[in-house]
Amino acid sequence: MITKCIRPSNLEEALEQLNQQGYDGKLIAGGTDLVIEIKHHPYEKSTLIDISRLKELRFIEIGETEICIGAGTRFSDIVNHPEMKGICAGLWEACSSVGSPQIRNAGTIGGNICNGSPAADSVPPLLALDAQVIIKDTTKTRTMPLKDFYIDKGKVAIEANELLYAIKFRKPKKDEYITFEKLGLRKALAIARLSCAVFISLGDGDKIEDIRIATGAMGAYPQREEALEKLLIGEVFDAPLIEMSTQEIFNIAKQRLGSRSSAVFKCEAIQGLFGKALRRAAKEAKSYDFHQFNS
Amino acid sequence: MKKRGRGIAAAYYGTGYGNGFPDVSRARAEISKDGNIFIYIGATEVGQGAKTIFCQITAEILGVETQDIHFVCEDTSQTPDAGTAAASRQTYNSGNAVKKAAESLSQRLMEQAQNHLQLNSVHGLKLENHWVYLEDFPKKRVHFKELVKEDTLIVEETFTAQTVKMDEETGEGAPYWPYTFCCYGVEVEVDTETGEIHVIHGVCAQDVGKAINPELIEGQIEGGFAMGLGYGLMENIGLSKGEIKHNRFANYLIPTALDVPELEKIIVEDPSSTGPFGAKGIGEPVMIPAAPAILNAIYDAIGIRFYEIPVTPERVLVAIKDAQKEGKE
């Protein structure tokens, strides 16, 4: 049961506290998931370490080649940022689709990542951007790919004394684009039943130089669909390729979801979601007339 | 692919408890010694605007502004019983009781004014701004306060709806009085790849008898449409072996503001002969045609009839797939 709440005044103090509390300490930022968890279930940890006011964790840095976002950055910060929509449409779309304005004002991108929900909205686009997570403890800073950060449902590769500091990824260039599609059961305050992000880099003659595909709520955690990516890299983007790739994602979903009651629906729906995300990404990456792919 | 379709649905609805069941509302009207007007009624305000329209009805009859009415409701130690806020009956039933009480109070005021002003009759007396005056000779006037100097003026009236029990053998009878009628038209967009349904437009025509407060009616239509939309497309208690799985608003979904389209509202006025100023109740009827109109529009869009609600994306996709299979066989 939570009996104590500590609010460190800077990052160093927060890491110190996390180190001292060990397993009893739990970080809280926006609290949009954690508070519900604490209220509804017996909670084993005793101390909350409130990092919601740490300025060091709340930043969006857009460099020449790289974008770095502090873990304590609110969804609203991203949604209201003047450049994010233009540079990383898919990430912006995902952050815009989180909960409601109130939840976006409180919830943080770091919380979304660390909570480990298979339906976390911001994670598929970050995976498709091939993001790296930057993790700190009192003595060191380490970096790892986000795709390796997920272990299982609700489980991420972070130690009790560690804190997710920021997330970074290469800034998309010309001829590159990222999209996000989400299937929720209503237009706001909806948990993703299924989501999909596609990053595409198109070269001359519509050759797919690079593509990264990530799905949400299609398995125990959000994941990269690397098998599918391999089939598409180097190919020419055309209608038969779209057909082949949607069929392939159906096969992947079918295998992964097995006999789950939602499988029939999700296997159908992921084709539609992925198809949309893919067509739109390609259309935006190359701004010529792409209507032939939009049925 | 996104496919659009249109659908309509109409409903008629009997106001009140009906079927011969005693449907009674009582209201008390008072003028206190300091000249203030009070209405006491056991009717419950649940957001439908009963308080507002009862004040409007009283103000209309007593020739004052609505804010001049001191309105007391819900407190059973102070108010006479007016039945439940149910069956869309408060405007009609309790509205009639309030109107009768206000009329009775008006009559008493005029009788007292007749005495006070030493007139031969109450004919030609008018009420306005807490004065009773003779229309043809407005100098002949007396303030409410003058008339209640001695005693508070109190009247209580009862309205009992006329309903006839149906014959159990033949089903004949006149179980409700009055009926309201409504018809909604909607346009939907169905995404055949994801099963999502987007209600993009709605037109709601609602017979109200007489609109006592048009804005409240529009609000009630908006709310009713939203409820009907949720009923048709989202609300699902998730019953599994007798257990309700969707027991929180996190998983028992109702529409958000973003899910409800802009609505065109048409108020149809055809005064009811027995309603207060011709008004009828529309509390519940406004919800009824929304879901069937939406389901008809879905049929128009994709050619599939749904006989089970809510029509979720999951059901839509599975139905489309089944229809494709059947088509192939």
Contact residues on chain A for B323, CB-CB shorter than 8 A: none
Task: For chain A, list residues with pLDDT below 70.
Answer: 288-295
Chain A partners of B312 at a C-beta cutoff of 8 Å?
185
| First-last CA distance in chain B | 23
Q: Quick check: A247 contacting B, CB < 8 Å?
A: no
Together in a domain, B136 and B222: no
Q: Is B168 within the bounds of a domain?
A: no
Same domain for B129 and B187, yes or no, is no
Across the interface, whether the CB atoms of B193 and A276 are under 8 A apart is answered yes
| Active-site pick, B30, B157, B187, B284 | B284
What are the C-alpha distances in Å from A116 to residues A119, A219, A221, A253?
9, 12, 7, 20
Q: Do B194 and A186 touch (CB under 8 A)?
A: no
Residues B188 and B136 in one domain: no
Give the pLDDT score at A196.
Answer: 98
B169, part of any domain: no
Q: Which fold has domain A176-293?
A: Enolase-like; domain 1 (3.30.390)
**Which residues on chain A are in Cβ contact (under 8 Å) with B234?**
185-186
- Using a CB-CB distance cutoff of 8 angstroms, which residues of chain B are in contact with residue A36? 250
Distance CA A157, CA A140 (A): 16
| pTM passes above 0.80 | yes
Contact A212, A198 (CB under 8 A): yes
Chain B: give the shortest CA distance to residue A24, in Å: 28
Do A232 and A241 meet the contact criterion of CB atoms below 8 Å apart? Answer: yes
Inside any domain, residue B171? no
Within a domain: B255: yes
| Residue reference for tokens 């198809």 | A275
- Residues B154 and B186 reside in one and the same domain: no
CB A136 within 8 A of CB A165: yes
Strands A132-136 and A163-170: antiparallel
Q: Quick check: is B165 in a domain?
A: no
Q: What is the dihedral of CA B87, B90, B93, B96, to 10 degrees?
A: -160
Give the end of a domain, one of B114, B134, B160. B160
pLDDT tens for chain B, 329 residues long, are 999 999 999 999 999 999 999 999 999 999 999 999 999 999 999 999 999 999 999 999 999 999 999 999 999 999 999 999 999 999 999 999 999 999 999 999 999 999 999 999 999 999 999 999 999 999 999 999 999 988 999 999 999 999 999 999 999 988 998 999 999 999 999 999 999 999 999 999 999 999 999 999 999 999 999 999 999 999 999 999 999 999 999 899 999 999 999 999 999 999 999 999 999 999 999 999 999 999 999 999 999 999 999 999 999 999 999 999 988 76
Looking at residue A292, what is its pLDDT?
Answer: 42
The highest-level CATH class for domain A1-52 is alpha beta
Question: Does B65 share its domain with B117?
Answer: yes
Supply the pLDDT for residue A272: 96
Q: B322 and B180, same structural domain?
A: yes
Are residue B144 and residue B194 in the same domain, yes or no? no
pLDDT at A293: 43
- Residue B34 CA to residue B149 CA, distance in Å, equals 8
Binary contact (B258, A276; C-beta < 8 A) = no
Does residue B306 sit within a domain?
yes
Q: Which domain holds residue B319?
A: 2-14+176-328
Let me know: does A171 contact A66? Beta carbons within 8 Å: yes
Q: Could you check whether the bond before residue B178 is cis, i.e. omega within 30 degrees of 0? A: yes
Given this model, what pLDDT does residue A175 score? 92
Which whole-number Å values give the CA distances from A48 to A3, A23, A27, A256, B208, in the listed order? 8, 11, 6, 36, 56
Which residue is associated with the tokens 């108010």?
B79
Q: Which of B234, B256, B314 minimises the CB distance to A265? A: B314
Do B192 and B321 reside in the same domain of the chain?
yes
Please state, in angstroms and rounded to a whole number, the distance separating the CA atoms of residues B256 and A97: 13
Is residue B313 domain-shared with residue B188, that is, in the same domain? Answer: yes
CB contact under 8 A, A265 and B194: no
B252 within domain boundaries: yes
Strand A194-202's sheet: what is its strand order? A176-183, A194-202, A208-216, A223-224
Q: What is the CATH number of the domain that holds B241?
A: 3.30.365.10
**Spatial contact of B23 and B163, defined as CB atoms under 8 Å apart:** yes
Contact A265 B195 (CB under 8 A): yes
CB contact under 8 A, B313 and A187: no
What residue ranges do the domains of chain A occupy?
1-52, 176-293
Determine whether B284 is an active site residue: yes
Nearest to B298 by CA among B167, B166, B155, B200: B200
Q: Which residues contact A295 (CB under 8 A, 6 or more apart)?
A: B1
Task: Give the mutation candidate from A265, A276, A291, A293 for the B interface (greatest B CB count, under 10 A).
Answer: A265
B299 and B227 in one domain? Answer: yes
pLDDT at B246: 95
Specify the pLDDT at position B255. Answer: 97
Q: Considering Cα of B39, then B43, then B45, then B48, what sign does the dihedral take?
A: negative
- Flag whether B218 is in a domain: yes
The residue of chain B with its CA nearest to that of A184 is B196
B250 contact residues in A (CB cutoff 8 A): 36, 191
DSSP of B269-313: E---SSSGGG----TTGGGTTHHHHHHHHHHHHHS----SS---H
Torsion angle (degrees, nearest 10) of CA B176, B181, B187, B189: 0
Residues B319, B180 share a domain: yes
Boundary of a domain, candidates B160, B193, B211 = B160
Verify that B6 and B28 share a domain, yes or no. Answer: no
User: What is the Cα–Cα distance from B103 to B110, expressed in whole angstroms?
Assistant: 10
